[in-house]
Every structure is written in structure tokens, then in C-alpha cells.
Amino acid sequence: MKSLKTPFDQIVLVCANTRPPGAAKHSCGDHGASEMRAWLKGELKKEGLWGDHVRVVTTGCLDICPAEGVICSFDRGETLVKVDADTDREAVLERIRALCG
């Protein structure tokens, strides 16, 4: 095993897990996770923050499965936050900007 230094200043995790219909748990992927990540990437690229400064990475299940919303982490998984992919996207972007500031 070899440790590698992350080339980014910040990594934001976004659960995009999708379960089959009828699954016992809900899925973040069914609540706009991938669309939110794509929007964040576009906005961060416009601001010159995407790349060396920050990456927004989709993950598999983080094992907190809300009936609505998407689970994110702004501190590499230490704290998980539930967001609405549509109404909270600006707040998520602002939080990422603050991390890079």
C-alpha cells in the first residue's frame, strides 16, 4: 500500500447511489445528485476553481438514505449533510467557495 497526496485543495463527496425499484432504502441518485454535481462542476469551472482547487466527486452509498434529498460531505466524509439538489444548490456552491477561500 502506498499513500498518495491528493492533488486537490478540497474534495466534496456527493452520494449518487441508485437502488432498484422497490428497494427498502431510498436513493440519493433518484433525487438529482448527478444533475447537481454537473451543475456545480460547470459553475466551479466558470470561476476557475475546478481542477487544482476543488473536485466534486460522486460516490456510492454513504449509508444515510433520506426519503428526499442528497447526502454530501464537505470534509472528506467526516460529516454528512442532507441537501435538496434543486433548492440548496446555491448554498452548496457557496459552501464550496468558502472552503476554497
User: Residue 47 and residue 41: Cα distance in Å, rounded?
Assistant: 10
| Domain extent for 14 | 10-100
Instruction: Transcribe 50-86 into DSSP letters.
Output: BTTTEEEEEES--S---SSSEEEESSTTSS-EEE-TT
Contact 13, 77 (CB under 8 A): yes
Q: What is the total count of domains within the chain? A: 1
5 found inside a domain: no
Q: Is the pLDDT reported for residue 7 higher than 90?
A: no
Q: Would the pTM of this model clear 0.75, i.e. be above it?
A: yes
Quote the pLDDT of residue 77.
84
pLDDT in tens, 39-95: 999 999 999 999 888 999 999 999 888 999 999 999 888 999 999 999 999 999 999
Cβ-based neighbour number of residue 1 at 10 Å? 2
Q: Residue 28: which pLDDT band, with cuts at 50, 70 and 90? A: very high
Find the CATH number of the domain harbouring 16. Answer: 3.40.30.10
Quote the pLDDT of residue 76.
84
3 found inside a domain: no
Contact 49, 100 (CB under 8 A): yes
